Structure 1
Amino acid sequence: MQGMIFTEFLKMVDIFYSPEVTERIIKQSNTETNGAYTSVGNYSHSELVSMVVALSEEDETPVQDLVRAFGKFLLGQFCEQYPGYFLAHNDIFSFLDHIGNHVHTEVMKLYPDSRPPMIETTRLGLDIMELLYSSHRELGDAAHGLIEGALEYFETEATIQRNQLIEGEKTCIRFLITRTSTQLN
């Protein structure tokens, strides 16, 4: 898993909890790196899972809620670091269409060892989109948080229906995003 995910997770813990909590969860976790990550490194996703579990125990917040909050936080970080990706789109559906077809393709060019999730979108109508998420990692809650963050960024109210699909050893989730209103700038 890309190191940037690890560095952003630790940044979130620093911001929303404290650097002391960050240090405690690193010490409590089963990590080969002892919490020393670089954004361009590649690390076992089990280290991230271990840190999330440690944070869950520290904060008594369910793991799923923490991972979803991390996804939302991560979207905000992407907005700051890659504003061009967001400014190129004027609505949530255009942006989500772009992720699987362009963003993850570019990630693979930059980091050939990476294995980003597969994202496929289908517009089912003017105000409804199906997004299929497939990954060998169990980070569907992060994907859910990323969608929620994107909805906030594009100032769009929507409902998100989520169905877990079975596909071998992969995590496959079908998100149905139904736009209920759009705030125009």
Structure 2
Amino acid sequence: MKGIVFTEFLELVEDKFGLEVVDKIIQQSNLPSQGAYTAIGTYDFSEMLRLLKHLSEHTQLSIDDLLLAYSEHFFNVLVNSYPDLVSQYSDPLEMLSSVENHIHVEVRKIYPDAELPTFEILEKTDSKLVMIYKSSRAMYSFGLGLMHKTFEHFNTTADITLKKLKPDGTEVKFSIIITNE
């Protein structure tokens, strides 16, 4: 997993819960990296799982809720760091349906060894998008949060439902219907 995911996660934890909590979850997690991340480095996903587990225990928030909060922070990082990536889209469904064939292509240019989820579009209309998320990391809540922020960015509201196609969350169907335009 790319280091930017770790560095931004720890920044969010510091902003929301304080530096002491960052230090505490790093110590509790017994990380091979010792919590010393660089944005361009690559680190084992198990380190993120350990950090999330210990933050969840400390805050009494579920890992899914933490991933939702983190994805909202991360969306803002993406918009501020790569404004051209988002500014070329005029509507949220177009942007979301382009994740696999455009956005992830651009991410791989910056981070060639990034391990990204895949998104398969099953249906797309002007007001509806149905897609399948697949990832061995089962971070569908992170994806859900990014979707919410996408609609917020475009001042649009939508109903987003998800259905786990595999119990472990490695394959999830998202159905999105715009509720205002």
TM range (shorter): over 0.9
CA–CA distance in structure 2, aligned partners of residues 31 and 158 of structure 1: 39
The residue identity in structure 1 corresponding to 2:157 is E
Partners of 1:29 and 1:51 within 8 A in 2: yes
Compute the displacement of 1:176 (Å). Answer: 0.4
2:138 paired residue number: 138
3-state SS of the aligned residue for 1:148?
helix
CA–CA distance in structure 2, aligned partners of residues 54 and 170 of structure 1: 20
The residue identity in structure 2 corresponding to 1:137 is R
Partners of 1:96 and 1:121 within 8 A in 2: no
Q: What's the CA shift string for 1:96-142, capped at 9, x where partnerless?
A: 12211012122233333221111223444321101221111121111
1:102 paired residue number: 102
- What is the number of residues matched between the two proteins? 181
The residue identity in structure 1 corresponding to 2:139 is L
2:40 paired residue number: 40
Runs of 4+ in 1 over 6 A off after TM superposition: none
Higher strand fraction (1 or 2): 1
Cα 1:8–1:31 shift into 2, 3 Å:
same
Runs of 5+ unmatched residues, structure 1: none
1:8 lines up with 2:8 in the alignment = yes
Moved more, 108-117 or 11-20: 108-117
Compute the displacement of 1:155 (Å). Answer: 1.0
CA–CA distance in structure 1, aligned partners of residues 138 and 46 of structure 2: 10
User: Once the two structures are aligned, what percentage of the paired residues are identical?
Assistant: 33
Partners of 1:158 and 1:181 within 8 A in 2: yes
Runs of 5+ unmatched residues, structure 2: none
Q: What's the CA shift string for 1:126-183, capped at 9, x where partnerless?
A: 211012211111211111111111111111111011011139x88111110100012x
CA–CA distance in structure 2, aligned partners of residues 31 and 52 of structure 1: 12
2:70 paired residue number: 70
1:176 paired residue number: 175
The residue identity in structure 2 corresponding to 1:60 is Q
CA–CA distance in structure 1, aligned partners of residues 109 and 87 of structure 2: 22
CA–CA distance in structure 2, aligned partners of residues 113 and 145 of structure 1: 24
The alignment's C-alpha RMSD in Å is: 1.7
Compute the displacement of 1:21 (Å). Answer: 1.1
The residue identity in structure 2 corresponding to 1:58 is H
2:166 paired residue number: 166
The residue identity in structure 1 corresponding to 2:165 is L
Partners of 2:108 and 2:114 within 8 A in 1: yes
The residue identity in structure 2 corresponding to 1:166 is K
Q: What's the CA shift string for 1:57-85, capped at 9, x where partnerless?
A: 11111111111111121111111111111
Report the TM-score when normalising by structure 2.
Answer: 0.93
CA–CA distance in structure 1, aligned partners of residues 125 and 13 of structure 2: 39
